[in-house]
Amino acid sequence: MVMRIIGLIDRQSGEPSMIDLRSDLMSWRPPAVAVAASLAASRPPAMAPGEDPYERKLYEVLSDELGVEAVLLMPTCTMANQIAIRVHLPEGGQLAAAPLAHILTVEARATALTRVGACPLPTDEGHPSPAVVDQFLQDRDRNIAALVWLENTHMLSAGSVIPVGWQSRIAAACREDGSALHLDGSRLWNAAAAQGLQMTDLTQGCDTVSISLNKAIGAPVGSVLAGSREAIDAAVRWRQTLGGEWRPIGTIAAAAIAALDDWRVRLETDLAMTASLVRGIANRLGEESVRPAPTNLIFLNRVGGDAPQFVEVLTRRGVQTTVVAANIVRLAIHSGVREREVAKIIEAVTATYAELEAAA
Ligand SMILES: *Cc1c(COP(=O)(O)O)cnc(C)c1O
């Protein structure tokens, strides 16, 4: 049986037929991740939260890496975000975020269940500027609690990063106003690698931060909510309420610890491949065919609105991608992509353009 499972790991056994760029959830899992998970799975499980040695170790390592007081494992980044809203806002509170923020788009139905009001902020490449946040705080109804929400990297803005200096100014304004600040940092690792910054630089000033472990860095499953001791204590209660308290948790925590090793090296390789792909595609198909990709997400422009057909043809040519909108195709670059596949991807994209052009 074990051999049958090992047989499914195609990275070791030659070329997989498909190059899967649908999501960075498809990133490569370092072998140490599987070893750590199975070692942890073979010892007797712990019962109560905080009793498991791997869980405690993960929180210690991550608190350090992120520069926060406390960390809490969550099944998904969606749950981490949804709990953050509940920790900071009462029902009827005001959630101020970019109109295309994940929390107001992909998570719209989950967010509706929190019964808070969305206040969309104008943005520059997906990020509200300090001036925009100042204006919001100045104009807001002081009888209604507010939560300012940032997203780094901003998924629906082709993985754009928050400009350096913006977050500390926004954090200072929120603190002075008495409003909370949350950062959806599902891909904060990618921002840190792209900007050459430490994770501690990017969490600074936020009351809470949510971060995916199962995207960039290749943990098999899970996300964390990080922040002050007080916020995380409240999050522990919400996680139990919503059924997100994993028991036993050691296997998941041990795998995540192993995935944290050398993450920056892997993400720097992803960045280099992303840059080569964007350059290659722009060279072959023109600058306007592809958006700038500051991190690991490449957005192809399909001004005619044929993104679904484009994805279909490209899949037939061996590269799986996703439709972000009728006029945008997304390629998520991750450590499961091999450098020698870069040229193949450029070929497949070019051929797909030509095929759709011929059919038009
Ligand atoms: C993927 C993603 C999430 C949700 O993560 P899940 O673990 O799939 O729930 C939240 N925010 C952003 C920006 C994301 O890209």
In this structure, what token pair is assigned to residue 14? 């030659």
Question: Which residues lie closer than 8 Å to 130 by C-beta, 6 or more apart?
Answer: 166, 169, 170, 173
Q: Please tell me the distance between residue 4's alpha carbon and the centre of ligand 1 in angstroms.
A: 31
Q: Count the residues in the chain.
A: 360
Query: Is the beta carbon of 155 within 6 A of some atom in ligand 1?
Result: yes
Q: How far is the CA of 242 from the centre of ligand 1 (A)?
A: 18
Please indicate whether residue 77, judged by its CB atom, sits closer than 6 Å to ligand 1. Answer: yes
Q: How far is the CA of 143 from the centre of ligand 1 (A)?
A: 31
Distances (CA, A) of 136 to 131, 170, 277: 9, 11, 39
The Cα–Cα gap between 11 and 9 comes to 6
Taking the centre of ligand 1 as the mean of its atom positions, its distance from the CA of residue 170, in whole angstroms, is 23
Cβ of 212 below 6 Å from ligand 1: yes
- Confidence (pLDDT) at 48: 77
Q: How many whole angstroms separate alpha carbon 287 and alpha carbon 156?
A: 20
For residue 127, give the nearest of 102, 94, 163 by alpha carbon: 163
Q: Counting atoms of ligand 1 from 1, which one is nearest the CA of 80?
A: 9
Domains of the chain: 2-27+263-359 (3.90.1150.10), 31-259 (3.40.640.10)
CA of 352 to the centre of ligand 1 (A): 29
Give the C-alpha separation, 20 to 28, whole Å.
11
Please tell me if the CB atom of residue 223 comes closer than 6 angstroms to any atom of ligand 1.
yes
| Cα 94 to averaged position of ligand 1 atoms, centre (Å) | 21
- Give pLDDT tens digits along the chain (360 positions): 555 555 555 554 455 579 999 999 999 999 999 999 999 999 888 877 778 999 999 999 999 999 999 999 999 999 999 999 999 999 999 999 999 999 999 999 999 999 999 999 999 999 999 999 999 999 999 999 999 999 999 999 999 999 999 999 999 999 999 999 999 999 999 999 999 999 999 999 999 999 999 999 999 999 999 999 999 999 999 999 999 998 889 999 999 999 999 999 999 999 999 999 999 999 999 999 999 999 999 999 999 999 999 999 999 999 999 999 999 999 999 999 999 999 999 999 999 999 999 988
The residue whose CB lies within 8 Å of the most ligand 1 atoms, and thus the one to mutate among 22, 26, 78, is 78
- Which residue CA neighbors atom 5 of ligand 1 most closely? 77
Burial label for 347, CB within 10 Å (0-12, 13-18, 19+), is middle
CA of 212 to the centre of ligand 1 (A): 7
Looking at residue 12, its pLDDT comes to 47
Select from 199, 214, 259, 220 the least CA-distant residue to 63: 199
Is there an atom of ligand 1 within 6 Å of 207 CB? no
- Give the torsion sign (CA, 46, 48, 50, 55): positive
Task: Report the nearest atom of ligand 1 relative to the CA of 76.
Answer: 7
Report the separation in Å between the CA atom of 184 and the middle of ligand 1, taken as the mean of its atom positions: 8
Q: Which one of 22, 27, 74, 77 would you pick to mutate in the ligand 1 pocket, going by the greatest count of ligand atoms within 8 A of its CB? A: 77
pLDDT of 251:
95
* Tokens at 123, concatenated: 């943005």
DSSP code, position 25: G
Q: Is the CB of 330 under 6 A from ligand 1?
A: no
My answer on whether omega of the bond before 295 falls inside 30° of 0, hence cis, is no
Give the tens place of pLDDT for each residue, 330-348.
999 999 999 999 999 999 9
Contact assessment for residue 237 and residue 260, using Cβ atoms and an 8 Å cutoff: no
What's the pTM value of the predicted model, to 2 decimals? Answer: 0.95
Q: What is the per-residue pLDDT for 360?
A: 80
